[in-house]
Structure 1
């Protein structure tokens, strides 16, 4: 009989230190904390606080001490026995502390008012109808119980379980003193505001229900639409005043998905004359008809159906995004492979360091556009950029057909290498020479759009030998070549002639030894090379018996080259 009497010693109200410890503990475990729901009741509009009853989470309201009648004691016994899906469980009353404390079962998602104020979730029409139906069913149960009415119904005392079921709370216990804040009078009926003696009626509850339903339909606190133009006192005064067109919440915003019958029902519930408001029995019957016409009657079934559709949509979206991600990854890999050799790029992506590596035999290529400065002076900057883009874009396409790595292009200069980072035996000389021949063939037919009468000529230098390669830089890493082989190849280019492929003796011997039958070569003779002294160098005129210019026989080409060299030496 006295189960409702609770000792205050059994109740623990969490402090900030306890909350911090709980949050710290929760970060170290996957299970929920005792204080998981504290934040749901932290708002200034909450009339409840989360506490513990023998280490079980509960909700409490505090009240100033007062003398309770025997009737109130009997009511507490009856309140413990109330049981309905939409009425929150009364657990008991503690009156041996400094305040009287009413204890209720915890609803983890907080109040309906908090949910609407924070726009925590996206709701559809069926969700809205379920919320309103739950409030109606709970209030109807209270109207048919020994309590008879609620008397202070607001969306702040409509609590939500983890399954979004509404449970009405803070009912009964009419002898306890409550601090009546002005903001909670926004749910009060006009007759209750004007005459305290006519308060606590079922018709007043119906008016409060209408305000809650309007909030749920518009997905926001009912009087929020008036914003700063009217404060709480102004709104309460307008409700009390009444008149031919009394002040009521707006229902014109975002309600296109709500049945018009529900909107009409809400408007009937907040009529100025309390005698014209429907009963909760009638309201519940109307809600049942509305819900049955929609197909679903259970909110969680509806939520699961939505989640299933959402899951399917998310799976498709994830698949699409994954495809997009793979495409972007491919683009990034392609871009990275143009900046660094693929093997080097893969190691960098894995976070591995790339140590400098020595190579015994590679072939280095340098090229330069002859008289590029003169050509550039005849073009605008945009035309120069377009010229180089078109020319080097075609060169890059040729490079991709050979085992050659493009190290860099600076202005009109071009640096390539074969034989690293993947060693290819002695094939590097063939790859570089064949690429050089292709370059020469291409520029013979290349037309400068802005200078149709001008011709592009290349000067190419090639050298073979050992070198060291490695990645230099962090923010903008570059794969660089080091060694005398690179310097000598550069000298071959600068000491070459327009339209000529200039080889060192080391490159010539490698080419002749392995591919002598494939290419037409000729000794240029001894040439003084800056920093190197006298060197015998060689020309590559093209593939055997074929020149990249007009297809002339190689003997003709050699004779022209010999006469030209003789003329230079005598000059």
Structure 2
């Protein structure tokens, strides 16, 4: 690319210029990948003039690739300058993840890198775009360990990002392997890389407006899925809220409050009250830890809550091992005594066979009284 074009690109897209102008609609490719945005990209061979001197960008990383208006990717750091801000050690080390192995090994390598080194860096960026999992995928290795294994392969085995599980066509995988060749002279130039990647655009139209419409349709489809997921989450949350409200208040009162109605106080001349507690609970509390007692009560109350859901009664309170239920309130019921009596018999049958998380010396027994 000519010097004038380089200067224009460097001026328009440098980080300092973007900060001054509110990033002018640009975003780092790494940020876009992290946000899972869809990318319409072109190989950076457009930034190269085959007749230009062989020199590289040196900083060919996804953090140095700008995404213009979500339409195209371009390298924006073309070389370095003396006024560049100093980078801390960790940031500088991370940038080496994209650097070609021959440049890592050669302390006298040109600061601007090489064109063949850029091909290797582009392969890492392409892998990052396809995998959406960073420049080296999911790995337990540190940046320093990765750089060390690229610089000096262990046992003569070259170390490259893993391709297993990468959802890409065989032709794309072949391009990645070619870009990562250990010998720079065997790496294709970026113009050839673009030609080999043409099948990635199969089915896409050459008109930019058609491409934009296709992307908008996919965004709309994705938006519908997101709305459906959020709606389902809202329904589940409403269900949990209703369940909690019904546990706290009689169903008739809870439904009235949900409708925004004012609940009038009522008087009930005749109701049936159920009380129960655990036989020998004091001794049980003395022989078990506090957390075990919590588990015992939780298992018992879960069982009783499931039982009373089948009866026209209302649970008023649980205090310690005491359990209080009332029949004939909330929804008036002429058979409230029979309902509570049937509930008591059901509980007496269910509790002795209840399986608890805490081992007890003897099966649990429950004492019930009605009034």
TM norm structure 2: 0.57
Matches within 5 A, 1:396-475: 435=334
Structure 1 counterpart SS, 2:6:
helix
- Whether 1:231 aligns to 2:144 is yes
Report the Cα distance in structure 2 between the residues aligned to 1:228 and 1:446, rounded to whole angstroms.
Answer: 61
1:189 matched residue in structure 2: 100
CA shift at 1:262, angstroms? Answer: 0.7
Counterparts of 1:450 and 1:172, CA distance in 2? 80
- For 1:515-554, list aligned pairs within 5 A: none
Match of 1:217 among 109, 123, 130: 130
Deviation sequence 1:490-510 (CA, Å, 0-9, x none):
xxxx9xxxxxxxxxxxxxxxx
Q: CA deviation at 1:169?
A: 0.7
Q: Distance in 1 between matches of 2:343 and 2:99?
A: 88
| Separation (CA, whole Å) in 1 of partners of 2:221 and 2:152 | 47
Q: Does 1:207 align with 2:117?
A: no
Instruction: Indicate yes or no: 2:79 matched with 1:79.
Output: no
> Residue 262 in 1 paired to residue 179 in 2?
no
Contact 1:112 1:158 in 2 (8 A): yes
- Match 1:122 to one of 22, 36, 58: 36
Is the CA contact (8 Å cut-off) linking 1:368 and 1:412 kept in structure 2?
Answer: yes
Q: Give the corresponding residue for 1:393.
A: 311
Q: 2:191 aligned with 1:273, yes or no?
A: no
Deviations 1:419-477 (A, max 9, x none): xxxxxxxxxxxx99xx4xx679999x9997899xxxxxxxxxxxxxxxxxxxxxxxxxx
Shift of residue 408 of structure 1?
Answer: 8.0
Q: Distance in 2 between matches of 1:230 and 1:173?
A: 23
Cα separation, 2, equivalents of 1:258 and 1:248: 16
Distance, in Å, in 1 between the alignment partners of 2:85 and 2:326 is 87
Q: Does 2:199 correspond to 1:289? A: yes
- Match in the other structure for 1:90: 11
Shift in Å, 1:281 = 1.5
Corresponding position: 1:365 with 2:281: no
Residue 253 of structure 2 contacts residue 330 of structure 2 at CA under 8 Å; is this kept in 1? no
Q: CA deviation at 1:264?
A: 0.9
* Shift, 1:263, TM fit: 1.2
Counterpart CA distance in 1 for 2:147 and 2:330 is: 82
Structure 1 gaps of 5+ residues are 1-73, 82-87, 94-100, 377-381, 397-405, 419-430, 452-493, 495-571
Deviation at 1:163, TM superposition (A): 1.8
Paired residue secondary structure (1:160):
strand
Q: Is the 8 A contact 2:65 2:76 kept in 1?
A: yes
Partner of 1:249: 161
CA distances 1:522-554 after superposition (whole Å, capped 9, x unpaired): xxxxxxxxxxxxxxxxxxxxxxxxxxxxxxxxx
Shift of 1:295: 4.1
**Number of equivalences:** 303
SS at match of 1:364: coil
The 5 A counterparts of 1:290-309 are 290-292=200-202, 294-295=203-204, 300-301=212-213, 303-309=215-221
Alignment of 1:135-146 (within 5 A): 136=43, 138-144=44-50
Deviation for aligned residue 1:268? 0.5
Larger RCO (CA within 8 A; separation ≥ 6): 2
Deviations 1:335-362 (A, max 9, x none): 676366579x53x98597x7979xxxx8
Q: Whose Rg is larger? A: 1
Structure that is richer in helix per residue:
2
Give the distance between the partners of 1:367 and 1:167, measured in 2 at CA: 78
The verdict on how the C-alpha distance between 1:203 and 1:192 changes in structure 2, with shifts beyond 3 A counting, is same
User: 2: distance between equivalents of 1:163 and 1:417?
Assistant: 59
The alpha-carbon distance between structure 1 residues 228 and 107, as it changes in their structure 2 partners (threshold 3 A), is: farther
Task: Identify if the C-alpha distance between structure 1 residues 363 and 108 changes in structure 2 by more than 3 Å, giving closer, same or farther.
Answer: closer
8 A Cα contact 1:192 1:200, kept in partner: yes
For structure 2, the 5+ residue unaligned runs are: 280-299, 318-322, 349-370
Between the aligned partners of 1:200 and 1:440, the Cα distance in structure 2 is: 89
On the 8 A contact 2:250/2:330 being kept in 1, the answer is no
Quote how far apart the aligned CAs of 1:414 are: 6.1
Please list the CA deviations of residues 52-86 of structure 1 after superposition, one character each: whole Å capped at 9, or x if unmatched: xxxxxxxxxxxxxxxxxxxxxx94x55355xxxxx
Distance 1:327 1:270 in 2: 54
Question: Higher strand fraction: Structure 1 or Structure 2?
Answer: 1
Paired with 1:92 and 1:315, the residues of 2 have a C-alpha distance of 36
- TM-score (norm. length: structure 1): 0.40
SS of the residue 2:135 aligns to = coil
